[in-house]
Amino acid sequence: MHTPALATASDGFLLHGEPFRIISGAMHYFRIHPDLWADRLRKARLMGLNTVETYVPWNLHQPDPDSPLVLDGLLDLPRYLSLARDEGLHVLLRPGPYICAEWDGGGLPSWLTTDPDIRLRSSDPRFTAALDRYLDILLPPLLPHMAANGGSVIAVQVENEYGAYGDDTAYLKHVHQALRSRGVEELLFTCDQAGSGHHLAAGSLPGVLSTATFGGRIEESLAALRAHQPEGPLMCSEFWIGWFDHWGEEHHVRDAANAAADLDRLLAAGASVNIYMFHGGTNFGFTNGANHDQCYAPIVTSYDYDAALTESGDPGPKYHAFREVIARHAPVPEEPVPAPAPKLSGITVELTRRAPLLPYATSTAEPVARTEHPVTMEELGQRSGYVLYRTTLPEAGDGLLHFAGGVGDRAQVFVDGAPAGVLERERHDETLPLRVPQPGATLEVLVENMGGVNYGPRIGAPKGLLGPVTFNGTALHGWDTHRLPLTDLSAVPFAPAEATPVTVPAFHHGTFDVDTPADTFLSLPGWTKGQAWINGFHLGRYWNRGPQRTLYVPAPVLRPGANELVLLELNATTNARAELTDTPDLGPVKP
């Protein structure tokens, strides 16, 4: 084994034998359009960072247990690591396997829980065997990017805040050994919340550097880390300078001057730091996670995080404030701070064609074999998106529909195609009154997976209909299930809106012209809840519940000339237009 490039001394790091302080910023390649990686990395260096940090999302890199590693486009991690090296930046790599990060399932693939008894993040051999198979395919393409081989990666994290979750030290040792035995020679570290006394102890491993996560109370937090680890570098591996948003809450911001003052305290104390987030980016597609404390609370599409760079990659107030602070403690490039990128505005898109969803689901998505009771999304092997369940209601009359096993996460109910109501995970034990017009009426239940829980004991909670469904206390039997992963919309049979009866939910289609592509924000006044795609790129979810009201459209998604907008709107809309604007609206700020 070589000597790792990065090593620890009694009070700091050494890089190639010289004293070194890590001034890092978090930036997840999988939340940024790949054509924009180089731009964001350059802006990281220009703020004064010498390092960037990223997680690695297992769920996207290995979407099925038997699939080869996915490493293209937004997932081309080797390319990202090369670009970082080209920019002169080091990389802290956090391959999990669990990454939290407000990311679907905390990065754990949903296929793991096809076996509902599996104990995630533990030395359960079912979990460690799956992890080992993943690392067998993940690490070979990454090894050339390790500092030992001339690459950018100077340190690798073992698990993530494990002390907040479990106490299975044998599992942490397994992850450690799994990295080492596959050729990772760089410095390894763990990270745990400084604010919770026992977390650092429960999440640490002898011989592995402990680092702490915190956003304030700098002196106390560093003291807690020092008390836990009497010698070695002090490192705040997540310095929280903003926060994430849930649907239905206010938008979180943190004052730039306040965050900069805390950064100054950290650097003045001689600590190393990873600013979380330097640039948050976007939960494109179906990639957002969720919390589940008192109730299920999914994360919004934007991961702006009130970070130093805005979601669209422009220097915000924190960028300038942090650059000034860093300059007091370390050299900062003298090049000018980049100006905000140009934005498109004033484009109206008329959505003139549509296609109802329910007939599309039943005609194009083959039903899986009929089952006695509904099957979960995990049983279907479907990772994200929607599922349509269908059965018949044997008797006419009024009654109560009950999802006895619960629902993950939101179910829209239709009787003979007519909307009958919604039941959500938050309120799954409620019943829905139904009027059944005739014996043999069709009951359809459209279930949306709104994002896998990414923190706490409910990681891996199942999606779809989660058990028997009863009507007036009697289980309904004989279910057809249609998968709607919505990964390819090319077969949606759009027709002119005038010729299509208004039905919900429905796809809506419009085109618009662009001269020169530039960043823009999609605004959907009058639309209520659904998904948006431009030129086939899945921008993510929208929901008038807020706080987020616009969706970020990265310039590379657009092309000169005609462009195509598709919405899946789950409810009716009062408006058949969308707007492209130059100003994001992430919602009212938490006071």
Catalytic residues: 161, 238
Minimum Å gap between C-beta 221 and ligand GLA is 12
- Long-range contacts (CB closer than 8 Å, 24 or more residues apart) made by 110-119: 110/59, 110/377, 110/378, 110/383, 110/384, 110/452, 110/460, 110/463, 111/64, 111/65, 111/378, 111/381, 111/383, 112/460, 113/378, 113/460, 113/462, 114/378, 114/379, 114/381, 116/378, 116/462, 118/460
Nearest to 274 by CA among 15, 25, 27, 89: 25
Number of residues engaging ligand GLA in binding (CB under 6 A): 8
Residue 62 or 160 with smaller CB distance to ligand GLA: 160
In single-letter form, the type of residue at position 380 comes to: L
275 Cα distance to chain centroid: 18
Please identify, among the stretches 11-19, 100-108, 321-329, 364-372, the one whose residues bind ligand GLA according to the rule CB under 6 A.
100-108
Minimum Å gap between C-beta 108 and ligand GLA is 13
Please identify, among the stretches 98-106, 181-189, 247-255, 566-574, the one whose residues bind ligand GLA according to the rule CB under 6 A.
98-106
Q: How far apart are CA 214 and CA 126, in angstroms?
A: 33
Please identify, among the stretches 96-104, 128-136, 200-208, 470-478, the one whose residues bind ligand GLA according to the rule CB under 6 A.
96-104
Q: At 351, phi and psi to the nearest 5?
A: -95, 95
Residue 101 or 555 with smaller CB distance to ligand GLA: 101
Minimum Å gap between C-beta 484 and ligand GLA is 29
Residue 103 or 386 with smaller CB distance to ligand GLA: 103
Residue 77 or 99 with smaller CB distance to ligand GLA: 99
Contact pick of 87, 185, 238, 378 for ligand GLA (by CB under 6 A): 238
3-state secondary structure 402-446: EECCCEECEEEEEECCEEEEEEEHHHCCCEEEEEECCCCEEEEEE
Please identify, among the stretches 99-107, 220-228, 251-259, 349-357, the one whose residues bind ligand GLA according to the rule CB under 6 A.
99-107
Minimum Å gap between C-beta 410 and ligand GLA is 23
Q: How far apart are CA 351 and CA 238, in angstroms?
A: 43
Minimum Å gap between C-beta 102 and ligand GLA is 5
**Both tokens of residue 200?**
């650092």
Q: What's the Cα-to-Cα distance from 325 to each of 47, 276, 279, 307, rounded to whole Å?
A: 10, 16, 18, 16
Minimum Å gap between C-beta 196 and ligand GLA is 11
311 is a site residue for ligand GLA (CB under 6 A) = no
Residue 27 or 524 with smaller CB distance to ligand GLA: 27
Residue 100 or 580 with smaller CB distance to ligand GLA: 100
Residue 214 or 284 with smaller CB distance to ligand GLA: 214
213 is a site residue for ligand GLA (CB under 6 A) = yes
Beta bridge partners of 589: 251
Please identify, among the stretches 94-102, 364-372, 474-482, 560-568, the one whose residues bind ligand GLA according to the rule CB under 6 A.
94-102
Residue 191 or 551 with smaller CB distance to ligand GLA: 191
- CB 563, CB 518: distance < 8 Å: no
Please identify, among the stretches 69-77, 97-105, 327-335, 531-539, the one whose residues bind ligand GLA according to the rule CB under 6 A.
97-105
Question: What's the length of the chain?
Answer: 591
Beta bridge partners of 440: none
The dihedral built from the CA positions of residue 67, 72, 75 and 81, taken in this order, carries a sign that is positive
Q: Considering just the CA atoms, what is the radius of gyration of the chain in Å?
A: 25
- CB 105, CB 452: distance < 8 Å: yes
Minimum Å gap between C-beta 155 and ligand GLA is 16
Minimum Å gap between C-beta 213 and ligand GLA is 4
**Both tokens of residue 299?**
């994360």
Q: What's the Cα-to-Cα distance from 24 to each of 47, 232, 274, 317, 326, rounded to whole Å?
A: 10, 18, 4, 18, 11
310 is a site residue for ligand GLA (CB under 6 A) = no
Residue 161 or 264 with smaller CB distance to ligand GLA: 161
Residue 87 or 159 with smaller CB distance to ligand GLA: 159
Q: What are the helix (H) ranges across 8-145?
A: 37-47, 58-61, 77-86, 125-142
Beta bridge partners of 94: 55
Minimum Å gap between C-beta 191 and ligand GLA is 7
Site mask for ligand GLA (CB under 6 A), range 102-141, x = bound: x---------------------------------------
- CB 563, CB 511: distance < 8 Å: yes
List the helix and strand counts (H, then E) for the chain.
11, 34
Q: How far apart are CA 505 and CA 489, in angstroms?
A: 15
Place of tokens 């180089």: 38
**Both tokens of residue 531?**
């998904």
Site mask for ligand GLA (CB under 6 A), range 240-269, x = bound: ----x-------------------------
Where are the extended beta strands (E) located within 101-257?
Answer: 153-157, 187-193, 209-214, 235-240
160 is a site residue for ligand GLA (CB under 6 A) = yes
Minimum Å gap between C-beta 76 and ligand GLA is 22
Contact pick of 93, 100, 259, 420 for ligand GLA (by CB under 6 A): 100
Contact pick of 161, 186, 245, 311 for ligand GLA (by CB under 6 A): 161
Minimum Å gap between C-beta 118 and ligand GLA is 22
User: Nearest residue by C-beta to ligand GLA?
Assistant: 100
Residue 242 or 587 with smaller CB distance to ligand GLA: 242
- CB 545, CB 395: distance < 8 Å: no
486 is a site residue for ligand GLA (CB under 6 A) = no
Binding footprint of ligand GLA on the chain (CB under 6 A): 100-102, 160-161, 213, 238, 244
